[in-house]
């Protein structure tokens, strides 16, 4: 049996509008992605797994027999289309909140995107490298045709909640995509 085809996650960036967040009401499979790292956090009957790709991430939340996934990636990549609950472009600031009763989870997502000057981008990249080391983040660094890039995901436990913050710094255009996601057990 051959392996499933992988998505190529070397982003061809054409601006912040090229990125999209998609929420799925089902599990996605790691064979679909060119993973650069994985990390799992369990708390309050929830299991959160982060998958890292260059310039993108997937958060997979397991609650009992229910599964929710948050996928952030460049729109030029073909994302699975089955089980999509919500999808939106990652431009400027965007908030999304919804209770998934069947999964017993309240989901809150916030995203901010910006384009930085080269000097500010370089300083932000260095700050994020230090932050990722201090927080023991899931992190992946690479170089594209324009310069150094970094993707990182932090995860924490709070009360009945699991939190995840992602940071994607892309040298092409000095782009920064930041997300914060909260999964709260109902």
Residue-wise pLDDT for 41-55, tens only, equals 999 899 999 999 988
| Domain residue ranges of the chain, discontinuous segments joined by + | 16-185
Look at residue 75 in the predicted model and tell me its pLDDT.
Answer: 65
Residue 158's pLDDT band (cuts 50, 70, 90):
very high
Look at residue 12 in the predicted model and tell me its pLDDT.
Answer: 42
Grouping H, G, I as helix, E, B as strand and the rest as coil, residue 120 is helix
Residue 94's pLDDT band (cuts 50, 70, 90):
confident
Look at residue 93 in the predicted model and tell me its pLDDT.
Answer: 86
E strand intervals along the chain: 19-24, 37-43, 46-53, 56-63, 66-74, 84-89, 93-100, 105-115, 138-143, 148-158, 161-170, 175-185
* pLDDT exceeds cutoff 60 at 8: no
Of 26, 12, 106, whose CA–CA distance to 58 is shortest? 26
Of 9-13, 60-64, 143-147, the poorest mean pLDDT is in 9-13
Look at residue 78 in the predicted model and tell me its pLDDT.
Answer: 67
Q: What does the pLDDT look like over 79-93, one tens digit per residue?
A: 778 899 988 887 778
Q: Is 60 left (phi over 0), alpha (psi -120 to 50) or beta?
A: beta
Look at residue 14 in the predicted model and tell me its pLDDT.
Answer: 45
* pLDDT exceeds cutoff 90 at 62: yes
């Amino acid at each position: 049996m051959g392996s499933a085809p992988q998505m190529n996650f070397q982003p061809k960036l054409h601006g912040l509008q090229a990125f999209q967040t998609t929420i799925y009401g089902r599990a996605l499979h790691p064979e679909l992605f060119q993973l650069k790292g994985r990390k799992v956090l369990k708390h309050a009957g929830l299991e959160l797994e982060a998958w890292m790709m260059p310039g993108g991430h997937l958060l997979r939340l397991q609650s009992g027999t229910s599964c929710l996934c948050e996928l952030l990636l460049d729109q030029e990549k073909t994302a699975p289309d089955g089980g999509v609950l919500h999808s939106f472009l990652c431009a400027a600031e965007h908030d999304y909140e919804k209770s998934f009763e069947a999964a017993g989870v309240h989901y809150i997502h916030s995203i901010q995107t910006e384009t930085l000057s080269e000097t500010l981008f370089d300083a932000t990249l260095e700050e994020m490298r230090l932050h990722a080391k201090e927080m023991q983040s899931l992190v992946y660094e690479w170089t594209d045709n324009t310069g150094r890039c970094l993707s990182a995901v932090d995860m924490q436990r709070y009360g009945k909640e699991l939190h995840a913050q992602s940071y994607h710094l892309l040298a092409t255009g000095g782009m920064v995509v930041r997300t914060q996601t909260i999964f709260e057990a109902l």
